[in-house]
Amino acid sequence: MYMNELPSGNWFCSVDCGILNFILERLVECGPVKVPHSLTGLIKSTVGDANGIGITNSDMKWIVLRGKGVSDENRVLISQAVDIFHNCFNPIVDSITGSDFIPSMAYGETMGDSDFTGVHCAMLIIESKVITAGMFRVFGADVVELPIVATSETNQGKGYFQLFFNCFEKLLAYLKVKKMVVPAAEDVESMWIQKFGFQKVTPTQLREYRQTMTSMVAFQGTCLLEKEVVGPHGGATFQNGFCFRLSSV
């Protein structure tokens, strides 16, 4: 039996995908979550003066946003994240449309043949100021891609990137996602492998990803890396999936 046309509204390839989407929507609605002091040991002691206004680790928060349909209040955070990405990366321009990938991804837009409506942005923020941000997209319970992640220039080298990754992996474990993949440029490939435990995707696995996850981002000059998600799994359910809380466990 074949469909004559696509169903109206949101539709998913499986029940699990529908549940993941539901939980991500609830996480966006929950707003910022305070990062517990037990996790902030990754930040160097000078962080209190990093922004020149006496901020302490206890002011640090974690938030997940979806660019498509973002509120005016949270649009400011998305805009800050876009600025960080533009400051840290060379322009990422689509060869066909000539458009910039970064804002299209951040705001969940469709650009040519690329559909970024399912992209979310996770952030570490201090008093409404984005410190580290990463755009990600979930491909069911098997894989999530993290194509772009960066820390603001004034806060680089202070441990924020590592803290972001720690929180992000906890989020994926909570969502019961098995693997994460990142497209790594040659100059940072060793960092992902040695510091964060990634490994190169085999040619066979890469072909499978490209065939089954056709919307996965592929940047020229990068190598795709993958990592098994580490952490306690099974936290995300309809009963307790409405709010994500970070912990040191």
Provide the percentage of residues in the chain whose pLDDT is more than 70.
78
CA separation, residue 186 to residues 117, 160, 190, 197 (Å) = 29, 22, 8, 16
Q: Which tens digit of pLDDT belongs to each residue from 165-209?
A: 999 999 999 888 999 999 999 999 999 999 999 999 999 999 999
Amino acid at 93: V
Beta bridge partners of 5: none
* Sequence-distant (≥ 6) Cβ neighbours of residue 76 within 8 angstroms: 128
**Per-residue pLDDT tens digits for 208-241:** 999 999 888 888 889 999 999 987 655 544 344 4
pLDDT reported for residue 22: 81
pTM for this one?
A: 0.83
Enter the CATH code of domain 15-138+149-175.
Answer: 3.40.630
Contacts of 197 (CB under 8 A, 6+ apart): 227, 230
Domain boundaries, the chain: 15-138+149-175
Res 238: pLDDT:
39
- Residue 86 host element (H or E): helix 72-88
Q: Is 135 helix (H, G, I), strand (E, B) or coil?
A: strand
Inter-residue contact 224 to 207 (CB < 8 Å): no
With a cut of 80, say whether residue 99 has pLDDT above it.
no
On the CB side of 67, how many CA atoms lie within 13 Å of its CA? Answer: 28
- In angstroms, the first-to-last Cα distance of the chain is 48
Tokens standing for residue 18: 């529908």
CA gap 179, 163 in Å, rounded: 19
